[in-house]
């Protein structure tokens, strides 16, 4: 490290009160930004849980579907039409709906029921207990062992329940990459059993899952589905649609923006004011350096180093605090949704760069106006 930067470092850390105040302001701002964006990212991932868990590359749906949890039934001819399209390797129906099950103790619990294609069981989860073939047994259901597992009284293989006066039996316990958003347990069964046990409108196909022959066939399949009057979306596009719904058509997007602006304003005001006060209190030292031959560019380097060092130290502390609190929350609440992504880090990093730039700008303006003779005036 050049000598001028060592001097800048010592000037910064020797004033422990000001240095601590700078770190606290930036750390708190980064923590707020990371916490809010992490919570939103977690909610988005859990909202797309069925898309991620089933993993189909292409989904065919009613054009008015906005999220995977709000499906609109489609007639059976849609499945036949999709299967006959060019570029389609195979296509299967999927049922997705809510139901109310009666547990052994007499309590009722809302569940999400996923009905898999009877022939292929396409989109089936990975089992940790039981055999997938047992789903064909009479009344067979597979339960997902996630954060909501205990709401079904921690069932085991052989556990029984009632669904619309129909007997259900747990024949397998599965694990999935992502649990749902709304705190509702998930059951898997066959498509025919799902539509038989659960009252439904005339059309019972929630989605048609498509496996294209090649990735290049996807645009052609989309065009054919559009001509049919329906919509085809890739896994990533469907997840993006779900995210856009929560971001723009609910209060989530507005709340996120407000919280980000609050955290940014807090960080900018605290760090900017404290850093400017620090510069004012050290004007004599900067003036002395200028008097003994330090050039303006050396003083600018010092201030930029101090602002950058403080900002990125606070950035690291803010992330560490956010990670710690998320880990503590998940230890107590397994269904806690917050998660840190590269996008969250990028947003927080960008805001920290702005805070560092604005803070250093006002400090640089004040220091460059110093005249060396002023410090010897007294």
Q: Is 88 in contact with 213 (CB distance < 8 Å)?
A: yes
Q: What's the whole-number average pLDDT of the chain?
A: 85
CB within 8 Å of 179: residues ≥ 6 apart: 46, 49, 144, 146, 147, 148, 186, 335
Tens of pLDDT along 35-58?
888 887 777 778 888 899 998 999
Percent pLDDT > 90 in the chain is 36
Query: What pLDDT, on the 0 to 100 scale, is given for residue 304?
Result: 85
Phi-psi region of 205 (alpha: psi -120 to 50; beta: other; left: phi over 0): beta
Interval 214-242 mean pLDDT: 93
Residue 264 has pLDDT above 80, yes or no: no
Query: What pLDDT, on the 0 to 100 scale, is given for residue 377?
Result: 58
Distance CA(370)–CA(250), nearest Å, equals 53
Interval 129-138 mean pLDDT: 91
Query: What pLDDT, on the 0 to 100 scale, is given for residue 326?
Result: 86
Q: Which of 129, 236, 17, 282 is nearest to 244 (CA)?
A: 236
Q: Is 321 in contact with 373 (CB distance < 8 Å)?
A: no
Question: Confidence class of residue 376 from pLDDT cuts 50, 70 and 90?
Answer: low
Interval 239-259 mean pLDDT: 79
Q: Which of 85, 65, 86 is nearest to 74 (CA)?
A: 65
Any idea how long the chain is? 378
Pairing of β 58-61 and β 126-130: unpaired
Domain segments of the chain as ranges: 3-46+251-376, 75-229
Q: Is 47 in contact with 67 (CB distance < 8 Å)?
A: yes
Distance CA(226)–CA(70), nearest Å, equals 20
Cα-to-chain-centroid distance, residue 62: 26
Interval 69-73 mean pLDDT: 87
Cα-to-chain-centroid distance, residue 284: 49
Within 10 Å of residue 333's Cβ, how many Cβ atoms?
A: 10
Three-state DSSP class for residue 143 = strand
Higher pLDDT, 272 or 33: 33
Question: Confidence class of residue 75 from pLDDT cuts 50, 70 and 90?
Answer: very high
Query: What pLDDT, on the 0 to 100 scale, is given for residue 95?
Result: 95
Interval 90-94 mean pLDDT: 95
Residue 94 has pLDDT above 70, yes or no: yes
Query: What pLDDT, on the 0 to 100 scale, is given for residue 190?
Result: 95
Residue 217 has pLDDT above 90, yes or no: yes
Residue 254 has pLDDT above 90, yes or no: no
Residue 378 has pLDDT above 60, yes or no: no
Which structure tokens are listed for 301?
A: 């380097």
Which structure tokens are listed for 59?
A: 């989904």
Q: Which of 272, 289, 108, 95 is nearest to 199 (CA)?
A: 95
Tens of pLDDT along 149-161?
888 888 999 999 9
Question: Confidence class of residue 249 from pLDDT cuts 50, 70 and 90?
Answer: confident
Tens of pLDDT along 308-362?
888 888 889 989 998 898 888 877 776 677 778 888 888 888 888 887 787 778 7
> Which of 177-186, 277-286, 301-310 has the highest mean predicted lDDT (pLDDT)?
301-310
Higher pLDDT, 216 or 314: 216
Query: What pLDDT, on the 0 to 100 scale, is given for residue 367?
Result: 77
Query: What pLDDT, on the 0 to 100 scale, is given for residue 335?
Result: 66
Distance CA(313)–CA(23), nearest Å, equals 7
Residue 374 has pLDDT above 70, yes or no: no
CB within 8 Å of 24: residues ≥ 6 apart: 270, 314
Q: Is 62 in contact with 84 (CB distance < 8 Å)?
A: no
């Amino acid at each position: 490290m050049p000598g001028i930067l060592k001097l800048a470092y010592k000037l910064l850390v020797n004033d422990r009160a000001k240095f601590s105040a700078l770190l606290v302001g930036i750390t708190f701002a980064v923590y707020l930004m990371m916490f809010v964006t992490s919570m939103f990212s977690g909610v988005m991932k859990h909202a797309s849980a069925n898309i991620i868990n089933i993993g189909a590359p292409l989904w065919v749906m009613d054009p008015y579907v906005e999220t995977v949890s709000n499906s609109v039934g489609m007639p059976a001819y849609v499945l036949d039409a999709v299967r006959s399209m060019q570029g389609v390797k195979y296509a299967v129906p999927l049922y997705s709906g809510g139901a109310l099950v009666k547990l052994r103790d007499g309590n009722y619990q809302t569940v999400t029921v996923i009905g898999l294609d009877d022939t292929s069981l396409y989109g089936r989860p990975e089992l940790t207990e039981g055999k997938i073939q047992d789903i064909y047994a009479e009344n067979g259901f597979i339960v997902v062992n996630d954060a909501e597992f205990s709401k079904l009284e921690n069932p085991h293989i052989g556990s029984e329940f009632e669904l619309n006066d129909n007997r259900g039996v747990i024949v397998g316990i599965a694990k999935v990459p992502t649990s749902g958003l709304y705190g509702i347990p998930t059951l898997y069964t066959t498509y025919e059993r799902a539509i038989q046990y659960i009252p439904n409108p005339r059309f019972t196909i929630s989605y048609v899952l498509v496996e294209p022959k090649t990735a290049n066939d996807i645009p052609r399949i989309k065009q054919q589905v559009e001509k049919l009057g329906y919509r085809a979306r890739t896994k990533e596009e469907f997840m993006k649609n779900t995210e856009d719904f929560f971001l723009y058509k609910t209060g989530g997007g507005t709340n996120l923006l407000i919280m980000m602006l609050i955290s940014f304003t807090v960080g900018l005001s605290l760090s900017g004011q404290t850093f400017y006060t620090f510069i004012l209190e050290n004007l004599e030292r900067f003036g002395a350096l200028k008097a003994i031959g330090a050039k303006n560019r050396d003083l600018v380097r010092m201030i930029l180093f101090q602002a950058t060092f403080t900002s990125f130290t606070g950035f690291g502390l803010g992330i560490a605090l956010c990670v710690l609190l998320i880990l503590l929350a998940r230890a107590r609440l397994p269904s806690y949704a917050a998660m840190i992504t590269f996008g969250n880090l990028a947003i927080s990093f960008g805001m920290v760069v702005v805070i560092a730039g604005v803070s250093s700008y006002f400090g640089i303006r004040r220091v460059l106006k110093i005249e060396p003779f002023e410090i010897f005036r007294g």
